[in-house]
Structure 1
């Protein structure tokens, strides 16, 4: 039996996952109405990661986005970071009990929000994949990744003020594993997406954000080697494989 990890305000300190590309490079500015499920994860009112709305009072993010005690909150309904939007305090972040900082496996957290988000054309939950074989991610599927992270790997800017999005294809699992053989194991809880030529990717500040195919959330931005480097795709948490954990705990 596993002991589940909770983050309640400032009661628990979790290990830091070292992700040099913790990851939108090569994308374009998009309005929040294009990705109304996209949230900003804030710690002490400062943008640190992305998150994804899955129900009015539930969201998902990456486990490694919670290395230290809070207070944490999420903001939605904005294209620019400076817009007021709608903010909800995070009462609890449920970190997957099998999450490990060594290789970033099970990099998922379920967020329990204090105040439900009011739904509109700017705020709307994303659909989740089915748990059967028909819901599995497949090589060649193209997903939209979005966030306010760095727009160039070497930029001194820690974030983009405007929401960016980029469309990336899923890389075959075997090819993904070969790429990262010397760095980490690409388990079934992960998948890769990116273009061989590089130049398009998630980057620092995009972690915890969505990878969405035709309105369905298949991935959470998790890890990578730098950002947008040729031959190196980004690594995403496989939402479909962890669908049971989400259903049991978020009741979605």
Structure 2
């Protein structure tokens, strides 16, 4: 998801906004290279075969070129966050020919990861993305890929979730918010679901949260997503099947800090938009 961390941007001398697991365009490659799953665990190999990683084309390795995460929708399409491919300050979209995607990867440093890279032919970002709201995008690949596609949650399922239901965020990244430790193998963290109304009422940073979002996290902090986990999924196990309910978007505090939930784009809210792109 896209996390906007005030502490990070203040240290960079840039701007003061809510905090994003920001990985957009060239900015992410230099300042926020690498994602973070804080106090999570390493995933099992092949546990999440629908996972995708966005990479700067021409990078020496998938690990060194990782920009954002995503999920495989099947065929030629990958779901991610708009802030991964659109500069939220200039509105400029990343050129498709500068990106590649690898699907079904576990270890970003493995030789097999680089062999799975596929060029991106087109980027569809939500036309009403404004830096925080409508943080969703779809990448069209240059060729079809065979693999396990993610199951997307319905709005009925999302509506049935309650505060405290266990959800899981998945991504590649550092295991600390204070040290540059970036494991290459996929990680995950369980977090309690937070209804958007509860999330919105947390504090002034969260007033923009609405039904187009879902939230997750611990009010006391300690476990969360962070830098570069942008675009990755939040999943919920529904009758034995993991379904994606969210896209990693932003948080109102530093990594895993108290009194700050992680905010995700509600995938089900955008079902029609997703289908229109894929069936165009």
State if a TM-score over 0.5 links the two structures.
yes
Q: Is the 8 A contact 1:105 1:187 kept in 2?
A: no
Q: Which residue of 1 aligns with 2:123?
A: 93
Aligned equivalents of 2:18, 2:123: Cα separation in 1: 20
Aligned equivalents of 2:184, 2:18: Cα separation in 1: 22
Aligned equivalents of 1:231, 1:141: Cα separation in 2: 19
Matches within 5 A, 1:146-157: 146-157=170-181
Aligned equivalents of 1:115, 1:106: Cα separation in 2: 27
What is the RMSD of the two structures over their aligned residues, measured on CA atoms? 2.2
Query: Which of 160, 174, 179 is the matching residue for 2:202?
Result: 179
| 1:35 and 2:48 correspond | yes
Q: Which residue of 2 aligns with 1:20?
A: 19
Q: Which has the higher helix share?
A: 2
After superposition, the C-alpha distances for 1:85-136 in whole angstroms (9 at most, x for unaligned) are 31111111100011001xx0000001111122232xxxx11111235x3453
Q: Is the 8 A contact 1:51 1:210 kept in 2?
A: yes
Query: Which of 55, 67, 72 is the matching residue for 2:74?
Result: 55
Query: Which of 185, 188, 196 is the matching residue for 1:162?
Result: 185
Could you say what secondary structure the match of 2:225 adopts?
Answer: coil
| 1:64 and 2:80 correspond | no
Deviation at 1:143, TM superposition (A): 1.8
Unaligned runs of 5+ in 1: 1-15
Aligned equivalents of 1:63, 1:36: Cα separation in 2: 22
| 1:217 and 2:236 correspond | no
Aligned equivalents of 2:75, 2:201: Cα separation in 1: 39
| 1:201 and 2:220 correspond | no
| 1:142 and 2:141 correspond | no
Q: How many residues are treated as equivalent by the alignment?
A: 229
| 1:237 and 2:265 correspond | yes
CA distance 1:55–1:180, change in 2 (3 Å)? farther
Aligned equivalents of 2:204, 2:178: Cα separation in 1: 25
Could you say what secondary structure the match of 1:220 adopts?
Answer: strand
Could you say what secondary structure the match of 1:136 adopts?
Answer: helix
Could you say what secondary structure the match of 1:245 adopts?
Answer: helix
Q: Is the 8 A contact 2:200 2:206 kept in 1?
A: no
TM-score by length of 1: 0.83
Query: Which structure 1 residue ranges, 4+ long, deviate > 4 Å from structure 2?
Result: 16-19
Aligned equivalents of 2:118, 2:207: Cα separation in 1: 35
Q: Which residue of 2 aligns with 1:79?
A: 106
Aligned equivalents of 2:126, 2:16: Cα separation in 1: 14
CA distance 1:136–1:88, change in 2 (3 Å)? farther
Q: Is the 8 A contact 2:18 2:205 kept in 1?
A: no
TM-score by length of 2: 0.75
Could you say what secondary structure the match of 1:188 adopts?
Answer: coil
Unaligned runs of 5+ in 2: 1-14, 23-36, 60-64, 88-92
Could you say what secondary structure the match of 2:100 adopts?
Answer: strand
